[in-house]
């Protein structure tokens, strides 16, 4: 890894500066829709517009966990938003999420539909709506939920971007964010040495929020060979927790919804009925 020539910043930044990287074509410094496109609406009370990234997986895992507990009001349609095609800038999506990021949820169970955006807010909304997965201690659950919301940009937009997506490898940002991610793993590891789950001894939306990021990092599923690079095997309590959650039937289902990459049995582009999983999921070991 090596840095390019030192960057000399202009006095005023303008949008014509090259950015490069995997998502350069969809990044822009303005908000709002770029085209008119209505969102599809299915038969269920909850309409989810998302993609199977870690942030998207949080919501589908919770919805599957709610259904696993018999909460039939949590039935949902999960529509695929292809961010590389700019679906998130369609007028219908922007109406649900003016920030043009997945996931976005429309709850049509009430006379007046409720829109929700930001994954952490959606988790809290659904947990409170159904009275499930709030944990033994609300203060602990909320603290760890918002811990995840604060750490994700450093893990994803920081480490993930410069390690896996940037057009060139640069030593300084990779070292900077690798150090931060290892610090996060150590925080989590110390916590999980004290309790079975993150917010205590009860599985909660805090675990559901953190697992798609740090849990899957520990299992070697994101950012190429980042697990080896970060020596994730050294965090024994994170490893125990990550594997334990990975075996939950609802997690096995939820993590493949709106996913369009990986092995065929790990992809379910859209979910409109529980039977949709039958053609893709392999039997549990």
Looking up residue 143, the CATH number of its domain turns out to be: 1.20.1050.10
- Residue 284 pLDDT > 70: no
Cβ atoms < 10 Å from Cβ of 58:
28
| Residue among 200, 226, 222, 224 nearest 211 (CA) | 222
Looking up residue 52, the CATH number of its domain turns out to be: 3.40.30.10
Same domain as 61, residue 122 = yes
Same domain as 175, residue 95 = no
Phi, psi angle pair for 104, to nearest 5°: -135, 140
Q: What is the pLDDT of residues 1-59, one digit of tens each?
A: 445 578 888 899 888 866 777 777 788 899 999 999 999 999 999 999 999 999 999 99
Task: Cis check for the bond before 103: say yes or no (omega within 30 of 0).
Answer: yes
pLDDT at 49: 98
Q: What is the pLDDT of residues 65-89, one digit of tens each?
A: 999 999 999 999 999 999 999 999 9
Query: Residue 201 falls within a domain, yes or no?
Result: yes
Number of domains in the chain: 2
pLDDT at 124: 98
Which residues, listed in sequence order, are joined to residue 76 by a DSSP beta bridge?
A: 46
Cβ atoms < 10 Å from Cβ of 179:
11
Comparing 26 with 93, which gets the higher pLDDT? Answer: 93
Flag whether the pTM goes above 0.85. yes
Region of residue 151 (left: phi > 0; alpha: psi -120 to 50; beta: else):
alpha
> Is the CB of residue 188 less than 8 Å from the CB of residue 162?
no
Query: Domain of 158?
Result: 138-254
Same domain as 209, residue 109 = no
Q: In whole angstroms, what is the distance from residue 226 CA to residue 236 CA?
A: 17
């Amino acid at each position: 890894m090596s840095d390019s020539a030192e960057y000399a910043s202009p006095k005023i930044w303008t949008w014509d500066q090259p950015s490069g990287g995997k998502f350069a074509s969809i990044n822009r410094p303005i908000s709002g829709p770029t085209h008119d496109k209505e969102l599809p609406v299915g038969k269920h009370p909850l309409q989810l517009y998302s993609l199977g990234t870690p942030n998207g997986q949080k919501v589908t895992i919770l919805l599957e966990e709610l259904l696993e507990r018999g909460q039939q009001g949590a039935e949902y349609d999960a529509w695929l938003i292809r961010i590389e095609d700019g679906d998130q800038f369609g007028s219908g999506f922007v109406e649900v999420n003016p920030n043009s990021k997945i996931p976005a949820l429309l709850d049509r169970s009430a006379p007046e539909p409720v829109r929700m955006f930001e994954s952490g807010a959606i988790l809290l909304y659904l947990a409170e709506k159904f009275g499930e997965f709030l944990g033994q201690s609300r203060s602990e659950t909320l603290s760890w939920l918002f811990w995840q919301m604060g750490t994700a940009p450093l893990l994803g937009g920081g480490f993930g971007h410069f390690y896996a997506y940037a057009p060139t490898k640069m030593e300084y940002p990779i070292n900077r964010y690798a150090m931060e991610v290892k610090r996060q793993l150590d925080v989590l590891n110390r916590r999980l040495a004290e309790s079975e789950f993150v917010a205590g001894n009860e599985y909660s939306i805090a675990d559901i929020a953190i697992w798609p990021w740090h849990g899957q990092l520990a299992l070697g599923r994101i950012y190429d060979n980042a697990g080896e690079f970060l020596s994730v095997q050294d965090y024994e309590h994170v490893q125990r927790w990550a594997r334990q959650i990975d075996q939950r039937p609802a997690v096995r289902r939820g993590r493949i919804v709106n996913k369009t990459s990986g092995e065929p049995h790990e992809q379910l582009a859209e979910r409109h009925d529980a039977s949709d999983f039958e053609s893709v999921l392999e039997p549990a070991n």
